Amino acid sequence: MKPALALCALAALAPVLATPATARNGSLIGAVASAARHAGEEDGGVAAVEGLVSAADPQGMQAALQELGYRAELDQDGEGDPMIRSSAAGSNFSIYFYGCVDHAGCDSILFTAGFDLSEPMSPEQANDWNRDALLATIYLDDEGDPHLFHYVLTRGGLPGDVFAASLREWAQVLGDFRGHIGW
């Protein structure tokens, strides 16, 4: 089953995320500036992806991930829509496809990673992360385990370098979150 709770949390955060603001430590402005500065850059050690990458073409997205050096296993979620399993920064993650009609023609993706903690994360700890997060936020499941998620609209396709930059930022967020929870 798709992480419906993640979408509910995303919907609840939409008014907050749509309002420009500065986090306590200035990280929001810094993260936006960093993302803008690096969106079109190629990292010297990272392969480039040519053409457009879109949720409408799951095999193309799988190939783009593989070109960038990531494991990418194309599968189906519990509803029959495409999904990709991968890993970065020492953590497994999934890419769920949304906006699909009859399991095809999808227009967006949701990067997700769950962490099964030995002790539950408190809502306060989750709020601390979400307050300063720009690229990915978390929700807690019924056991207090955090699930990190990041939504990307790909309608019309993303230029390969933008997709590569988005993936690098997702990997960075995964690493940052692992540090945040002491994983």
Q: Is the pLDDT of residue 17 over 90?
A: no
**What is the overall mean pLDDT for the chain?**
81
Q: Is the pLDDT of residue 33 over 60?
A: no
CATH domain 49-181 topology: Yope Regulator; Chain: A, (3.30.1460)
What confidence tier does 3 reach under pLDDT thresholds 50, 70, 90? low
Cβ 143 vs Cβ 174: under 8 Å:
no
Strand order in the sheet with 82-88: 73-76, 82-88, 91-98, 108-114, 146-153, 137-140
Q: Which residues of 34-52 are buried (b: 16+ CB within 10 A; e: fewer)?
A: eeeeeeeeeeeebeebeeb
Beta-strand pair 52-53/73-76: unpaired
Q: What is the mean pLDDT of residues 148-168?
A: 95
Q: What is the mean pLDDT of residues 84-99?
A: 96
Q: What is the mean pLDDT of residues 106-116?
A: 97
Q: Does the predicted model carry a pTM greater than 0.85?
A: no
CB neighbours (10 Å) of residue 132? 15
